[in-house]
Structure formats: C-alpha cells, structure tokens
Amino acid sequence: MTLFEKIMNGDLPADFVHQDDQAVAFRDINPAAPVHILIVPRKVIPTTNDITDEDGPLIGHMFAIARDLAKKEGIADDGYRLLFNCNRHGGQEVYHLHLHLLGGRPLGRMVAAA
C-alpha cells in the first residue's frame, strides 16, 4: 500500500482540505511554501508515465480541485504553482500520483533543486 493510500484510509493522520469519491487533498507535511497542498487521486497511478487516456477526466478533476483550493486559500489572484514530480530526476518521493499546489509567496520562475 502506498503512503498516500494509508493517509486516505485513515491509517496515518493528515490535515485534509478536500475529500470526494475520486480524490483527496491534504497539506504537505514539509511545506515548501506558505500554502503547500497535495491533491491525490484515490486510484493508485504511480507516476505521470502511467497516466492513461481513460484517466483524463480524473486528471481534469484534480486540476479543478486545485483551482478551487487556490481560491479558498486566498492565493488565486496573486498566483501559485501546480506541479507533478516524476521519477528520480523529477525528485519524486512518493509513487502515488499527486499534484502539488504551492503558493502564498513569490515562488520565482522555477523551484530550485534541493
């Protein structure tokens, strides 16, 4: 089971900001910005390489959640960043697809390498 499945099942705690039948969102445990939320589909898709055409509506739903949360968190007008990390060079740590929503301060043109 992935770490994020354990969080979705309630086996591990998390600060949830959204839950529905297709996806959940919770605050990142190690925030890289004042607002750092992870949007996670209930379906386990390991990486962006594993997204199929049939996942299109689900991926769209994740972006809709991000859009709504950005507004709710008060960062929509100033702006924010949405990103997926993929595999080793992308810095992916958890192999269960997740969309990062980052904002609350100027983020620069790109996220610096760790």
Residues noted as catalytic? 98
Binding site for ligand 5GP (CB under 6 A): 3, 12, 14, 26, 28-30, 38, 85, 91-94
Nearest distance from C-beta of residue 59 to ligand 5GP, angstroms: 16
Cβ proximity to ligand 5GP: between 22 and 87 the closer is 87
Neighbours of 102 (CB within 10 A): 21
61 with 112: CB under 8 angstroms? Answer: no
Nearest distance from C-beta of residue 14 to ligand 5GP, angstroms: 5
Residue 43: closest CA among 22, 64, 61: 22
Nearest distance from C-beta of residue 64 to ligand 5GP, angstroms: 20
